Amino acid sequence: MVQWFKALSKTRSVLSSALQGMVSDGTVVDERTLEQLEMALLRADLPPRLVAELVMDLEENQVQGNRTPVQVLKESLAKELLFPKDDPLIFPVSPACILLLGVNGAGKTTTCAKLAWRAKQAGRKVMLGAADTFRAAGTEQLRLWGERLDVPVVSGRQGSDASAVAFDAMDAAHARGTELLFIDTAGRMHTKDHLMDELQKMVRAIKKRDDQAPHATWMVLDASLGQNSLNQARIFHQAVPLSGLILTKLDGSSKAGFLFNIQKEMPGVPVLFSGLGEAKEDLVPFDPDSFLDGLLQASPDEDDA
């Protein structure tokens, strides 16, 4: 909880003065406080539709008046969040191929490494595929992570065909008894058709080795972009059906409220992991309770400190 609490400090600070206003007013919320809260929720990038509903819930509670306003808010928000059901890193097949994609700088390479570290910690046999052949530094970055984590990396030369690297990585994973292969891809703008075509080509290359692969296609989204990343996700989803989302940089975002929208707007594409910092251990399964406490609570739970 503390890690989530710390990571969400920027979004929490957007909400905090409005929340303090509600706390000091006890169970009664005056119009000015409600207005302040409404503005703060919108600034934290919660979807306007939801903000209107939340304000209405609070107004209704004034009449019934048996819960504090913060409790009402928390319960209403909790209903909007989905818990991931199973461990996303458990697959019925081996090797399972997990393809990571997203726009430039979203955190794909770092997330690839963090996922590999996490799976390795759990005793799984992992491999990395460096299919970002666009920049020499892209491959080099993943190779360095591989060295640091003692995880094998399959890569190609700069400018070589990314699909060929993905295919080779699949081959190597089969040959070496790998359980989980994480493939990093180059950052691409969702608006560039030829780059989206290249992604589809990569998927076809992977399928040549195993027609059920990729077993997961996860889009990495930079949480500091807020609602803007929703449009990116929609377009990626059209090009290559996504099976999950990873929100990075929640720690640098003051707009974490957009998560409520993405869960609603992308049904069937759950938020699986969240990036709460730059270190290898800073990628954690999405946890709705800790997320809500991190947004609304004044201080972290004593038990978890």
Is 133 a binder of Mg ion (CB under 5 A)? Answer: no
Is 275 near ligand GTP (CB under 6 A)? yes
Interface segment toward ligand GTP; rule CB under 6 A; list 75-83, 189-197, 198-206, 247-255: 247-255
The residue behind tokens 């780059």 is: 195
* CB-based burial, 228-247: b 16+ in 10 Å, e otherwise: ebbebbeebbebbebbbbbb
107 binds ligand GTP (CB under 6 A): yes
- In whole angstroms, the minimum distance from the beta carbon of 104 to ligand GTP comes to 4
Judged by CB under 6 A, which of 69, 88, 138, 226 binds ligand GTP? 138
Please give the DSSP secondary-structure letter assigned to residue 93.
S
Residue 109 binding Mg ion, by CB under 5 A? yes
Q: Is residue 253 close enough to count as binding Mg ion by CB under 5 A? A: no
In angstroms, the CA 198 to CA 217 distance is: 15
Q: Give me the least distance between CB of 44 and Mg ion, in Å please.
A: 28
Q: ∠31-32-34 over CA atoms, to 5°?
A: 65
Q: Does 110 bind Mg ion (CB under 5 A)?
A: no
Comparison of 179 and 184: residue with beta carbon closer to Mg ion: 184
Sheet with strand 283-285: strands edge to edge? 153-155, 126-131, 180-185, 96-101, 216-222, 244-248, 271-275, 283-285
Task: Please report whether residue 190 would count as binding ligand GTP according to CB under 6 A.
Answer: no
Output the smallest distance, CB 297 to ligand GTP, in A.
Answer: 21
Q: Where are the beta strands (DSSP E) in the chain?
A: 96-101, 126-131, 153-155, 180-185, 216-222, 244-248, 271-275, 283-285
Which spans of this chain sit near ligand GTP (rule: CB under 6 A)?
A: 102, 104-110, 132, 138, 187, 248-249, 251-252, 275-278, 282
